[in-house]
Amino acid sequence: MPVGPLLHLLRAQCGALKTATKLVWQSSPGWTIGRLILVVIQGILPLASLYLTKLIVDAVTVSVTDADKAPILNQALVLVGLYAGVMLITNLCIALSELINAAQRQRLTDYTQELLHTQAAALDLGYYEDPEYHDILERAEEEAPYRPVDILDNLVQIGENGISLLAMVGLLLSLHAGLIGVLFAAALPAMFVKMKFAQVFYRWERSRTSLERQADYLGWLLTSDSAAKEVRLYGLSRFFGQRFQQIRQRLYREKLKLVMRRFIWFAGTQLITSGVVFLAYAFIVYQTVQGTLKLGDLVLYHQAFQRGQGAMRAVLQGLAGLYEDNLFIENFREFLALKSRLPALVKPRSVPMPLQQGITLENVSFQYPKTTRQALRNVSLTIRPQETIALVGENGCGKTTLVKLLCRLYDPTEGRIALDGIDLRSFEITELHRHMSAVFQDYVQYHLTARENIGLGNIELSDEAAIKEAALRSGADTVIHQLPQGYQTVLGKWFEAGEELSGGQWQSIALARAFLRNSPIIILDEPTSALDPKAEYEVFQKFYQLTHNQTAILISHRLATVRMADCIYVMANGSIIEKGTHQELLRRGGTYAQLYETQAKNYR
């Protein structure tokens, strides 16, 4: 191999070793130290057993021609005893290695998953609008469960066999230095083939990430409870199943071609290896027949060469494995290298609470990543402290996008949003979020107990009375008291003894979660869409009564529920086209009045 590519491979191995050892050490320092000690011991033991074998064979050979066999027999028995002791230590080390290996593998896997989860939680929502991000995440999630364990196994393999190889090399040098060259010549071809195809498979798998995700999505449609009703009602299982199989068959055929190519290359290298090994064995036998070596030396050098060959192959395969791991773990490092578009501040401002001037939006525009369509255009409004405003308009007009910006889940493309005149981007995000609570249209149904579902609204609060008060405000308390275990009942059917709720009941739980936070700013995005009219009316009556000390933003398609808001903003095509109280907007006879009249007809 030319010097340039070889140096590139060596640099790649150094990078792989650095990343791998850092990951292993950080996950479990104690287990790593124990494993290093064991690796050294297990690397030396083969040399001890091999040398004892030579001494035993020599002793037995001498006893055949020596008349006084007693001293030689005693010597042989002592050697056999020592050999048995080495075997006992070897077996104990194997058992101990299994214990350390199991513990360290689990810690390493858990640590890698923790890194992945922490990174995912730190990234802003803008990434979820980017298909490339989902490809990166898919590759990282695919590698995380097993690739670190492969790294650990390869490091152990290199360590144990590397020590054994050094010992065998020392023995073989005493016979002929050329045998060392034979060891390398027998093992290097297979190593280069493995590295070559590691790159091939790496490039192929990266190019097929999107296709793999499509197959995963179809599998999810066929197995998830979210899609189960429509899949069965419309008879879609066969359609989705066929499309899934088409994708998997395509991936199978492409991968099989690569595997066959790799097999042909490996078969060729094995022919070369077999010829080289034959010459080495022939040389050792020739030296013995010529009388240069004793019978014990024949056994010693034969075993030394055989074990040296195995150790050399194992070390090079471990290095090639690390090279492959380095290629694939690059996917994991690529994910960890992503930076939030909402970076942490060095000197953040304190969030001004209670508000004195209120919330202002100044010429705010926004467009989601990877699209040219503007979701908001030059939106300006002011929400006074402890004021309740409502955002109304047809689907897609920008209402939900606006509240996402208010929560700083995204930053505006243009303009700014401020609290008491201070830009939201001047605050530390987690501190800002502590002063907000929200119920979105796609609220989460946590398959936990009813108490935990509500308690997640303020995980630092463990006050049972506050949890029940929040449930009373949302109407969830009535629902919960009908459950078999009350507040300790697991909600949803994913886990044992779980109880499923209706859409409206789940929504009341989500509302209770928001009320528990008792934050100065509360945002309700279609908070009662799944409730019946009577329950909705009761919730809003309580809401208006109990939020007089809070700044509230409501989004609702049901205009009757927002009529008591202090100010109503009507949105269309990402802009505010009307604002005023319910009565003011009706008198103007504009878009709001038309929408209200259209809805009112349905109740006459």
State the CATH number of the domain containing residue 148: 1.20.1560.10
* 397 and 285 belong to one structural domain: no
Residue 286 has pLDDT above 70, yes or no: no
Q: Taking a C-beta distance cutoff of 8 angstroms, is the pair 438, 516 a contact?
A: no
Q: Over 80: is that where the pLDDT of 542 sits?
A: no
Question: 597 lies in a domain?
Answer: yes
Helix (H), strand (E), coil (C) string for 406-463: HCCCCCCCEEEEEECCEEHHHECHHHHHHCEEEECCCCCCCCCEHHHHHHHHHCCCCC
Name the residue with higher pLDDT: 583 or 473.
583
Tokens 């579902």, located at residue: 453
Q: Are residues 369 and 484 in the same domain?
A: yes
Quick: pLDDT tens for 553-581: 988 877 877 888 899 999 999 999 999 99
pLDDT of residue 297: 54
pLDDT of the residue at 475: 85
Q: Same structural domain for residues 165 and 114?
A: yes
Write down the pLDDT at residue 288: 62
Higher local confidence (pLDDT), 594 or 292: 594
Do 268 and 136 share a domain, yes or no? yes
Is residue 5 situated within a structural domain?
no
User: Buried (b) or exposed (e) across 323-342, using 16+ Cβ within 10 A?
Assistant: bbbbbbbbbbeebeebeeeb
Q: Pick the residue with more confidence: 315 or 478?
A: 478
Query: If pLDDT is split at 50, 70 and 90, which confidence band does 119 have?
Result: confident
Which residues are CB-neighbours of 271 under 8 A, at least 6 positions away? Answer: none
d(CA 600, CA 594) in angstroms, rounded, equals: 10
The answer to whether position 145 is within a domain reads yes
- What percentage of the chain reaches a pLDDT higher than 90? 19
Q: Who contacts 345 (Cβ-Cβ below 8 Å, separation ≥6)?
A: 426, 427, 428
Residue 11 has pLDDT above 60, yes or no: yes
* Most confident stretch, 153-162, 187-196, 330-339, 428-437: 428-437
Helix (H) or strand (E) holding 193: helix 178-207
Convert the pLDDT of each residue in 407-441 to its tens digit: 998 899 999 999 999 999 999 988 898 899 888 88
401 in the same domain as 438: yes
The domain total for the chain is 2
Pair (473, 594) in one structural domain: yes
Q: Which domain holds residue 405?
A: 359-601
Q: 297 and 376 share a domain?
A: no
What integer is the mean pLDDT of 67-72? Answer: 64
Residue 187 shares a structural domain with residue 300: yes
Is 35 a residue whose pLDDT tops 90? Answer: no
- According to the model, what pLDDT value does residue 361 have? 94
Q: Mean per-residue pLDDT for 5-31?
A: 69
Report which of residues 348 and 68 the model is more confident about: 348
Model confidence at 69, pLDDT cuts 50, 70, 90, reads low
> How far apart, in whole angstroms, are the C-alpha atoms of residue 284 and residue 293?
8
Q: What is the mean pLDDT of the chain?
A: 80
Q: Let me know if residue 350 belongs to a domain.
A: no
Distance, in Å, from the CA atom of 204 to the CA atom of 195, rounded to the nearest integer, reads 14
Whole-angstrom distance, CA of residue 167 vs CA of residue 44: 8
CA distances (Å), 603 to each of 494, 530, 596, 599, in order?
Answer: 39, 18, 11, 7
In a domain, 352, yes or no: no
Whether the per-residue pLDDT at 376 is higher than 50: the answer is yes
- Answer yes or no: do 329 and 417 share one domain: no
C-alpha to C-alpha distances, 297 to 98, 180, 253, 427, nearest whole angstrom: 34, 17, 52, 77
Query: What is the per-residue pLDDT for 569?
Result: 95
**pLDDT score recorded for residue 148:** 73
Residue 480 confidence (pLDDT) above 90: yes
What pLDDT sits at residue 1?
Answer: 45
Higher-scoring residue by pLDDT: 358, 315: 358
State the pLDDT confidence band at 41, using cuts at 50, 70 and 90. confident
Domain membership of residue 381 (yes or no) is yes
124-142 tens-digit pLDDT: 888 888 888 888 888 888 7
In the structure, what pLDDT confidence band is assigned to residue 42 with cuts at 50, 70 and 90?
confident
511 and 474, same domain (yes or no):
yes
Q: What is the CATH number of the domain that holds 474?
A: 3.40.50.300
* Same structural domain, 97 and 233: yes
Tens-place pLDDT, residues 235-266: 888 888 898 999 989 999 998 999 898 888 87
Q: Is 503 helix (H, G, I), strand (E, B) or coil?
A: helix
The verdict on 103 and 210 lying in the same domain is: yes
Evaluate whether residue 263 is within a structural domain: yes
